Amino acid sequence: MNGGNGGRGEGGEVAAGVGKGKEAGAGVALEWRFAQVFGERATGEEVQEVDIISAIEFDKSGNHLATGDRGGRVVLFERTDTSDHGINRRDIEKMDFSTRKHPEFRYKTEFQSHEPEFDYLKSLEIEEKINKIRWCQTANGALFLLSTNDKTIKFWKVHEKKVKKISDMNVDPKALMGNGSIRNLNNDFSFPPEGIPSLRLPAVTSHETSLNARCRRVYAHAHDYHINSISNNSDGETFISADDLRINLWNLEISNQSFNIVDLKPQNMEDLTEVITSAEFHPTHCNLLAYSSSKGSIRLIDLRRSALCDSHAQLFEEPEIPGSRSFFTEIIASISDIKFSKYGRHILSRDYMTVKLWDINMNSGPVATFQVHEYLRPKLCDLYENDSIFDKFECCLSGDGQRVATGSYSNLFHVVGCAPGSTEATTLEASKNPMRKQVQTPSRPARSLGSLTRVVRRGSESPDVDANGNSFDFTSKLLHLAWHPTENSIACAAANSLYMYYA
């Protein structure tokens, strides 16, 4: 089914009927409930710039969640309701399905990942803001993650460290202070074969543990432009980092060298027409990676083909509609985020106006297009004036690949069913009462160009007001959100607050 031909949008109602016959999960719209909020803002409280969340990421198991903020901090949350916390598995199975608890998280720890810096050679300030966080393979009960700001990637280990108490020393520590310099042991000092009984080993007692975050490696000085993405490879030993013009390949264990695999920088910077906006490795194929561009295209590259991947294996692009070109065409086409689906069959992309789902086996056009900001089309001029048009909204897919979610203005986010025949389309507000603002729109938000005119008309009827009569607030935008890898649970950031919802 090709989303570009309008077939899906037009058939929305018909498809809804089909959807009901299907098992729950795909066809039926989810009912979202508020689960938790961290860092809720009191009314009237002013948000500190450094507290604004700039990255959210669940780990592979879904037992941990990390957020990064503009102040360079990384905050970790851990799940508290998992079965390995002493509850017998059989007991869970006996429990009524409907009373199953939703994922619940608690604050685990936080650490300062990046500090503001100044590049004296280039006379540039480097912000501490965390641009991306990616979880790595856990080992020995310790958590590992990569975090990056504009220039520097860091590899962190967070683990429980025993708090040690040392007692029973040979030498009084106070006495040692004065004579600490005596360290030259005579080499031909002969010990009796049975040893010296008066010497003893210090006794170590440890009762409690404390969480300790340690920076294990720093991958620096490899990017001339701002890093927008980092992504782990399925081989467990490499990752990529992408800036505006280049993508570099790193080995996790080697921080002093990286390989450049994509380089868009033209000989003459005036010839520059396109920049990299996001990049991600395929979840299972170690040789594939996708990157998106400011021109709205996605390129799939195959690392097997050659060492320098300037030529792509596949190009995903929507053909331009003749005559529709305007000053804003290229700006709103710019892709702000791409995500692979769990098994790598699909790629989800977000541009200013829409979310698009692509099948990696079909590069002629997206399999589905979901309108997100169509009602803003008449106001693009204003949005351009106040720079909102350059806002970079993220998107995410559910673990089962049946739904997608993305953020919007006024702290709203949208959840849309993307399975064939699904008519699900929910708008939620990042607040304790997510459904407050939601009035079910007569038909689901237009999913194709075919219904574009209708939406535009609706938008023009009330240019400054949304469907609920509220004016849009362009300062409270919900840019960052993440879907739990295995359950229907979404974490999203509204300024400094982290809201969690479940269904």
Partner 1 sequence: MSMVDEPLYPIAVLIDELKNDDVQLRLNSIRRLSTIARALGEERTRKELIPFLSDNNDDDDEVLLAMAEELGVFIPYVGGVEHAHVLLPPLETHCTVEETCVRDKAVESLCRIGSQMRESDLVDYFIPLVKRLAAGEWFTARVSACGLFQIAYPSAPDMLKLELRSVYNQLCQDDMPMVRRSAATNLGKFAATVEPAHLKSDVMPMFEALTQDDQDSVRLLAVEGCAALGKLLEPQDCVAHILPVIVNFSQDKSWRVRYMVANQLYELCEAVGPEPTRTDLVPAYVRLLRDNEAEVRIAAAGKVSKFCRILSPELAIQHILPCVKELSSDSSQHVRSALASVIMGMASILGKEATTEQLLPIFLSLLKDEFPDVRLNIISKLDQVNQVIGIDLLSQSLLPAIVELAEDRHWRVRLAIIEYIPLLASQLGVGFFDDKLGALCMQWLQDKVYSIRDAAANNLKRLAEEFGPEWAMQLIVPQVLEMMTNPHYLYRMTILHAISLLAPVLGSEITCSHLLPVITNASKDRYLFPAFTCDLSSAQLDLMTDPRSYVDRVPNIKFNVAKVLQSLVPIVDSSVVEKTIRPCLVELNEDPDVDVRFFANQALQSIEHVMMSS
Residues in the chain: 503
Q: CB-based burial of residue 372 (10 Å sphere; 0-12 exposed, 13-18 middle, 19+ buried)?
A: buried
Identity of the residue, 125 or 168, whose beta carbon is nearer to partner 1 in the bound complex: 168
AA letter at 173: P
Separation CA 75–CA 230 (nearest Å): 18
Separation CA 125–CA 120 (nearest Å): 9
In this structure, what are the phi and psi dihedrals at residue 314, rounded to the nearest 5 degrees?
Answer: -145, 145
Identity of the residue, 24 or 199, whose beta carbon is nearer to partner 1 in the bound complex: 199
Identity of the residue, 1 or 308, whose beta carbon is nearer to partner 1 in the bound complex: 308
Structure tokens that stand for 65 in this block: 């969640």
Q: How far is the CB of 130 from partner 1 (least distance, A)?
A: 23
In this structure, what are the phi and psi dihedrals at residue 27, rounded to the nearest 5 degrees?
Answer: -90, -35
Identity of the residue, 144 or 250, whose beta carbon is nearer to partner 1 in the bound complex: 144
Q: How far is the CB of 83 from partner 1 (least distance, A)?
A: 17
Are 343 and 360 contacting, i.e. CB atoms less than 8 angstroms apart? no
Identity of the residue, 158 or 389, whose beta carbon is nearer to partner 1 in the bound complex: 158
Q: How far is the CB of 251 from partner 1 (least distance, A)?
A: 10
Of 279, 421, 282, 273, residue with least CA distance to 349: 279
Are 183 and 130 contacting, i.e. CB atoms less than 8 angstroms apart? no
Separation CA 130–CA 112 (nearest Å): 10
Identity of the residue, 287 or 476, whose beta carbon is nearer to partner 1 in the bound complex: 287
Enumerate the H helices of 149-259 as residue ranges: 173-179
* Residue at token pair 């220039």: 151
Identity of the residue, 204 or 381, whose beta carbon is nearer to partner 1 in the bound complex: 204
Separation CA 380–CA 386 (nearest Å): 10
Q: How far is the CB of 153 from partner 1 (least distance, A)?
A: 18
Q: Give me the residues that bind partner 1 (CB under 8 A), please.
A: 137-142, 144, 157, 159, 161-162, 164, 166, 169-173, 175-176, 179-180, 182-186, 189, 191-196, 198-202, 204, 234-238, 253, 284-287, 303-307
Q: How far is the CB of 356 from partner 1 (least distance, A)?
A: 28
Separation CA 232–CA 219 (nearest Å): 14
Distance, CA of 170 to chain centre: 53
Separation CA 349–CA 502 (nearest Å): 23
Strands of 174-245, DSSP E: 203-219, 229-232, 238-242
Identity of the residue, 313 or 482, whose beta carbon is nearer to partner 1 in the bound complex: 313
User: What are the angstrom distances between the C-alpha of 41 and each of 302, 428, 432, 497?
Assistant: 46, 18, 11, 7
Bridge partners of 77, per DSSP, are 65, 107
Of 298, 297, 293, 299, residue with least CA distance to 311: 299
Q: How far is the CB of 86 from partner 1 (least distance, A)?
A: 18
Identity of the residue, 35 or 289, whose beta carbon is nearer to partner 1 in the bound complex: 289
Are 280 and 340 contacting, i.e. CB atoms less than 8 angstroms apart? yes
Instruction: Tell me how far apart the 2 most distant CA atoms of the chain are, in Å.
Output: 98
Identity of the residue, 258 or 278, whose beta carbon is nearer to partner 1 in the bound complex: 258
Strand pairing of 64-69 and 335-340?
A: unpaired
Identity of the residue, 43 or 181, whose beta carbon is nearer to partner 1 in the bound complex: 181
Cβ atoms within 10 Å, residue 238: 20
Identity of the residue, 288 or 357, whose beta carbon is nearer to partner 1 in the bound complex: 288
SS3 of residue 295 by DSSP: coil
